[in-house]
Amino acid sequence: MSVTCERITSHFSPDDLENLIEATTAGILDGGGFGWVQPPGNQALARYFEGLLLVPERSLYVVRDEGVICGAGQVVRPPASYEAHAATANITGFFVAPYARGRGLGRALVKAMLQGARSLGCKVVNCDVRETHATAIGLFRSLGFEHWGTHPYYARIGGQTVRGLFLSKLLAGEHEAARWQSNIALPDSGSSPAPAPAASQDAGLTLYPAIDLKDGACVRLRRGEMEDATHYSDDPAAQARMFEEAGCRHLHVVDLNGAFAGRSTNIPAIEAIVAATNLPVQLGGGIRDMAAIDRWLEAGVSRVILGSVAVKDPDLVRQAARAYPGRIVAGIDARMGRVATEGWAEVSELEATDLALRMEDAGVAAVIFTEITRDGMLAGLDLDQTADLARRLSIPVIASGGVGELSHLQALRNIARDVPGITGVIVGRALYDGRISLEDALNVLGSC
């Protein structure tokens, strides 16, 4: 018998993906996993595992018996903005197929994940396990995990409530562990606060040049009004190539007609953009069901932006985020803090911050925040609302709406140093009008 473990960093071979799906399906049928009580089907599992490879915070490990994948697990790090937990990692999605148990695969897999967490600089690894999974609990305990808490309502399976156990393992060496344990903060202890940690390395902000499509052409709107559009180019694909040649590493594309129609409309233009460059494309506008999400992600779009449907069908967002981890983004557009939908034609009573928190809970990879009253007006971003949103969330926030000069980008860059949850900015009219050069924008943002 030859048991090996590895971290998956590139696309699966067809055989590996087939074996992983088979093992996962068997594991779910044996007692659930990944949040599923019943297997969701081969296509959904394939999308799930391929999507994991696009999420920087998640490391996927597999265990093989004689070269065949028989189990998997994930080491999950907190987002960069979650500074208080920077030294922790979580093990999740851990399983060994029932037909491969009793051969030491689970122990080998956990050890590989612990080593991976150490290599990332993590000092503590956490996991949670259903109380009914006695073998898994015994395995973690035998490897030094300590049981520190119990969730009385962890899951509902077959009409019954199942409790869950929370387990942790300190990875630090003996000397460092003693130092950690001697410095545990106690409430009202009266002790002096610990020195503030050194500031994290400034990673820069990502620039997303915007390509807004109306009737197949590149345009920019003012305050989201379709009647107030400035026409810039009849060749969106050429525009995309120009952004790539200038050094941009991402594209932000919006189907304006689709946003109002509720379905994708500028399909040839979008397909031409995707074909014209190698840049990741995030696409929004009129994408309101799983068929449309499937269609665009399979067509080569990197991430799909869900806007109006985030308000009207949050279950769809949750379903999509589960099916495509790391590839679903919530677009939150607001007028004076209240969410607008249907291509900004309708304003709801829902607060932008409330929707953002719901979307984070649904599992989206990021939030794009736009204050509509500033969009296309070149008067500057709404920095206060953007920063407040980023402080409340543990997922990245991308700023949008109002960039008109280089100083607006510098102001955002300065705030992002104190609010690391802000990770990027969308710029449109100012680039097309020449008010900001792409070179200057990339330099100011330290763009990545």
219, 112: one domain: no
117, 210: one domain: no
Residue 279 lies in a domain: yes
Residue 186 lies in a domain: no
CATH number, residue 317: 3.20.20.70
Which domain-ending residue is among 63, 90, 124? 124
Residue 402 lies in a domain: yes
100, 235: one domain: no
Residue from 16, 30, 235, 333 carrying the catalytic annotation: 333
432, 298: one domain: yes
CATH number, residue 91: 3.40.630.30
Residue 132 lies in a domain: no
Please list, residue by residue across 321-330, b when 16 or more beta carbons sit within 10 angstroms of its beta carbon and e when fewer do. bbbbbbbbbb
Residue 232 lies in a domain: yes
Each residue of 106-142: pLDDT tens digit?
Answer: 999 999 999 999 888 888 999 998 888 888 888 999 8
365, 257: one domain: yes
Each residue of 405-437: pLDDT tens digit?
Answer: 999 999 999 999 888 889 999 999 899 888 999
294 has catalytic annotation: no
350, 229: one domain: yes
35 has pLDDT over 70: no
Please tell me the total count of domains within the chain: 2
217, 101: one domain: no
Each residue of 269-328: pLDDT tens digit?
Answer: 999 999 999 899 999 999 999 999 999 999 999 999 998 888 889 899 999 998 888 899
Each residue of 334-374: pLDDT tens digit?
Answer: 876 678 655 444 555 688 888 999 998 888 999 999 887 76
Residue 146 lies in a domain: no
Residue 197 lies in a domain: no
Which of the pair, 339 or 29, is modelled with greater confidence?
29
- Confidence at residue 193, expressed as pLDDT on a 0 to 100 scale: 42
Q: Which structural domain range is residue 76 located in?
A: 3-124
50 has pLDDT over 80: yes
Which of the pair, 85 or 420, is modelled with greater confidence?
420
Which domain-ending residue is among 124, 141, 168? 124
Q: Look-up: residue for tokens 């799930």?
A: 48
448 has pLDDT over 80: no
- Confidence at residue 386, expressed as pLDDT on a 0 to 100 scale: 93
Confidence band of 52 (pLDDT split at 50, 70, 90): confident
Each residue of 154-210: pLDDT tens digit?
Answer: 877 777 888 889 999 998 665 555 555 555 555 554 444 444 333 344 568 999 999
Residue 73 lies in a domain: yes
- Confidence at residue 344, expressed as pLDDT on a 0 to 100 scale: 44
| Percent of the chain whose pLDDT exceeds 90 | 49
Each residue of 370-406: pLDDT tens digit?
Answer: 887 765 567 789 999 999 999 988 889 999 988 999 9
113, 240: one domain: no
Which domain-ending residue is among 94, 124, 154? 124
309, 418: one domain: yes
333 has catalytic annotation: yes
Residue from 212, 375, 382, 388 carrying the catalytic annotation: 212
- Confidence at residue 200, expressed as pLDDT on a 0 to 100 scale: 41
410, 319: one domain: yes
214, 335: one domain: yes
- Confidence at residue 126, expressed as pLDDT on a 0 to 100 scale: 94
